Amino acid sequence: LGYGAKGTKYGRNWSIHQLPFLTFDGNNVTVKNGSTYSVKFTKPGSDYVAPYFVRDVLTYDSESDVYTLTLFTGEKKTFFGNAEGTPEARRGLLSGMKDRHGHDIEFTYQSESGNLEKVQIGSGSTAVSYHYVWSSERLANVTLQVGGSEVRKVVYSGNDGNLESVTLQQKNDAGEWDNIQQAYYRYESGGTGRMQFAFGDEACRLMAAAGINDPVTASATEVAPYADWKLTYDACGRVDTLKTHGGKYSYSFSYQESPHYPSSNDVWKSKTTVSYPGGSTRTFYYNCPANLLLLKVSGEGKVWYPVCQQFDSKARVILKAASSAVASVSESTSALFTLKTPAGLNTVLEYNGDGNLTNVSLRKGTGGSKVTQRETTYVSRPVDDLTTWLPKTVKVYREATDSGATGEVTTSYDYEWHEPSAQMSKRTTTLPTVPTDENGDGISPVTVVEEFDEWGFLVEREDEMRVTTVFNYDREKGAMSEMVQNSGGLNLRTNYQSDKLGRITQMLGPTHAVAFGGTSESIRRAEWTQYLDAQDEVRSIQGYVKTSNESLATTINPVRIHRAFDTDP
């Protein structure tokens, strides 16, 4: 869950970032995802058009009342439409997803309420699914199942429409649920839904040790010394103070709208000023599309501009200026800043008609010559109503002056595909020729060949020395199960075991011979990892096994124990 977007079923102002949805306004359709992603598609003609240079494509099938959002990377997301025949509770909700190859991620909803019941990819022993349970139209818990077995669960509880606690649980070997992490949230009185306190897992443990067993009902004075966040708001509902680490560090926020008309994307539209505990101030200036134009850092009488950017009409960065290149900054002007003509580092970015970055150059001041650093060409892969682009050649220059660059070297790429999808099956990388004065032969190109399965896993790699490595996976876990180096030659085999979350628990390296008391025996180096999630602890043990009986292990070196905790609620 993420806080900040307007949601109700998950708690006031909470939403699931992994579940985008649509809103409708006449012919306009807006894709929303959490509190930070919102793209409005307009329909000036027969097709939907995205703003700026958003390369995602939205289409509509009126017969099935289904919208399809095709991402520029090749994945697809489908949504229920807004027609009268579609139940109102489902309108705009995510109905399905496909990866680049076309594998389906299935969504199941309750027929009347429109509440999500299950999300699943794969079937049988390879299925990965999330199961949603609701109580009084509120999300009660979500359970992760891998291969039909329950692995983890997140339990939600709240009151008066607010989400108050989140508990992460994990199933142990006895089939019982252990609490792994928890978080608590408190809100302002008056039903605003604005968060006042946030407590992460370690804060909850400290409160419990102090005898505060219910941070939701305890007084603000009692819980404030343990809060990871304490928030206050201005009259417009925006955060104006943030205190962290039990109030030890305090940040203040102020906001201002620009008086200038946004005639271009280089006009500043708004600014946010953040005062830090150490006394420094950071001022963020944004344009109309919410791109960061300028970041000003000031403190101890000094000013620094770590971010200074200009944009084209499509809201793409076309210039990045170093702090040394900034001549002046004035909020009274719409352009906000001016750059030095004879000095300061400028990075210039250029794009082709398809929106791909083709050229990166450096320039000394605004009056200097552009010195090319990198040039890129692309190859297209059209599938259905979308074309994806991948680098074909990348040319870089190793030597440069203020007026030009030399020493170009080129890396080229060739691709094959899992037809008829956008999923790559093979990539051949031809590396630059190494000159003789750098210990190369100056003639022969060297290639690296990589092969991928339909899920995008790297399954085989031939390196620069023509040595082949083969990889196998437990795909439902996303974990490697075997690696064979020098396949067809030495066949150096490494095997892995993993838990249901895809974390490696055992590694057995290639077989090799060692001498025990003058007797040669074959062994495999080993490493075992134990995850004690309830204690935020990971234990690593090194050793070996004899190939004659791999069930008998010998440990060597000390056991490594790593403990950590999260402070972010």
Instruction: Give domain status of residue 109, yes or no.
Output: yes
- What are the percentages of helix, strand and coil residues in the chain, rounded to 5? 5, 55, 40
CA distances from 569 to 131, 211, 382 (A): 24, 20, 43
pTM of the model: 0.91
Instruction: Give domain status of residue 110, yes or no.
Output: yes
- Nearest CA to 378 out of 348, 349, 425, 413 is that of 413
Contacts of 228 (CB under 8 A, 6+ apart): 198, 199, 200, 203, 244, 245, 567, 568, 569
Please tell me the distance from the alpha carbon of residue 463 to that of residue 443, in angstroms, as a whole number: 18
Helix (H) or strand (E) holding 209: helix 201-209
Q: What are phi and psi of 368, to 5 degrees?
A: -80, 175
Domain with 73 in it: 1-121
**Would you state the torsion angle of the CA atoms of residues 496, 500, 503, 504, taken in this order, to the nearest 10 degrees?**
-20
Instruction: Give domain status of residue 331, yes or no.
Output: no
Got the DSSP string for 402-469?
SS-EEEEEEEEEEEEESTTSS-EEEEEEEEPPPPGGGTS-SS--EEEEEEE-TTS-EEEEE-TTS-EE
Please tell me the distance from the alpha carbon of residue 34 to that of residue 38, in angstroms, as a whole number: 8
Long-range contacts of 84-89 (CB under 8 A, 24+ apart): 87/111, 87/112, 87/114, 88/114, 89/113, 89/114
Please tell me the distance from the alpha carbon of residue 464 to that of residue 189, in angstroms, as a whole number: 65
Per-residue pLDDT at 3: 56
Instruction: Give domain status of residue 112, yes or no.
Output: yes
Mind listing the pLDDT tens digit of every residue in the chain (569 residues)? 665 544 567 788 888 888 899 999 999 999 998 777 899 999 999 999 999 999 999 999 999 999 999 999 999 999 999 999 899 989 999 999 999 999 999 999 998 888 999 999 988 888 999 999 999 889 999 999 999 999 999 999 988 889 999 999 999 989 999 999 999 999 998 888 899 999 999 999 999 999 998 887 899 999 999 999 999 999 999 999 999 999 999 999 999 999 999 999 999 999 999 999 999 999 999 999 999 999 999 999 999 999 999 999 999 999 999 999 999 999 999 999 999 999 999 999 999 999 999 999 999 999 999 999 999 999 999 998 889 999 999 999 999 888 899 999 999 999 999 999 999 999 999 999 988 888 888 888 899 999 999 999 999 999 999 999 999 999 889 999 999 999 889 999 999 999 999 999 999 999 999 998 889 999 999 999 999 998 889 999 999 999 999 988 999 999 999 988 655 54
Residue carrying structure tokens 């403190």: 299
Question: Do 465 and 456 touch, CB atoms closer than 8 A?
Answer: no
Positive or negative: CA dihedral 368, 372, 373, 377: positive
Q: How many domains does one find in the chain?
A: 1
Please tell me the distance from the alpha carbon of residue 131 to that of residue 214, in angstroms, as a whole number: 28
Instruction: Give domain status of residue 434, yes or no.
Output: no
Angle at 467 between CA 465 and CA 469, to 5 degrees: 140
Residue carrying structure tokens 């039990």: 246
In sequence order, the β-bridge partners of residue 162 are 159
Instruction: Give domain status of residue 405, yes or no.
Output: no
**Would you state the torsion angle of the CA atoms of residues 451, 476, 504, 489, taken in this order, to the nearest 10 degrees?**
-30
Q: Is 15 helix (H, G, I), strand (E, B) or coil?
A: strand
Residue carrying structure tokens 């008998």: 552
Angle at 136 between CA 132 and CA 140, to 5 degrees: 35
**Strand 549-563 vs strand 345-351: parallel, antiparallel, or unpaired?**
unpaired
Strand locations in 454-533, DSSP E? 458-462, 468-474, 479-485, 492-498, 504-516, 519-532
Instruction: Give domain status of residue 347, yes or no.
Output: no
Instruction: Give domain status of residue 2, yes or no.
Output: yes
Per-residue pLDDT at 384: 87
Q: What are phi and psi of 126, to 5 degrees?
A: -105, 10
Half-sphere exposure of residue 348, counting CA atoms within 13 Å on the CB side? 16
Q: How far apart are the first and last CA of the chain?
A: 12
